[in-house]
Amino acid sequence: MKKKIVVSLVVILVLIQFVRVDKTNPPVDIQQDFITITKPPVEVAAILKTACYDCHSNETKYPWYFNVAPISWWAKDHVNDGKKHLNYSIWSTYKKERQDHKLDEMYGEVEEGEMPLSSYTLAHNDAKLSPEQKTLLLNWLQTVK
């Protein structure tokens, strides 16, 4: 009986590998991008690219685990959700009020340690913000509005 269960699970695991996630990024118009528009210092731009852009832009990099179901399904859902809430690639399409609101949200999420997500930094250690990076980013965010 145990053997049948194990074999069934292995078969299911193999079969679900054929259900792939879409890893196509929409085209990026650099003129609409947050970094182009806000012109942060080089250090801040690097923090944003490393810690934020994978889930909050149309420049998502899809690592190896995006080829392994069901992990890929969960990760793609996170990326889609992140872009739904904030997409740096289309920053110029946001009205001024929405931009201001998003800047306030970014500040609060970073200040409270909610972003970047711990589930993301587990696989992307370079996205963890050091205290110095956090301070640099928060100080810059205060100057943007």
**Mean of pLDDT over the chain:** 93
Q: What is the pLDDT at residue 7?
A: 81
**pTM attached to this predicted model:** 0.88
Q: What is the pLDDT at residue 111?
A: 97
Q: Provide, rounded to the nearest whole percent, the portion of the chain with pLDDT above 90.
A: 72
Find, among 17, 26, 27, the residue nearest to 65 by Cα.
17
Which band of pLDDT confidence, cut at 50, 70 and 90, is reported for residue 15? confident
Q: Are the C-beta atoms of 53 and 88 separated by less than 8 Å? A: yes
Find, among 126, 21, 109, 116, the residue nearest to 65 by Cα.
21
Cα separation of 104 and 67, whole Å?
35
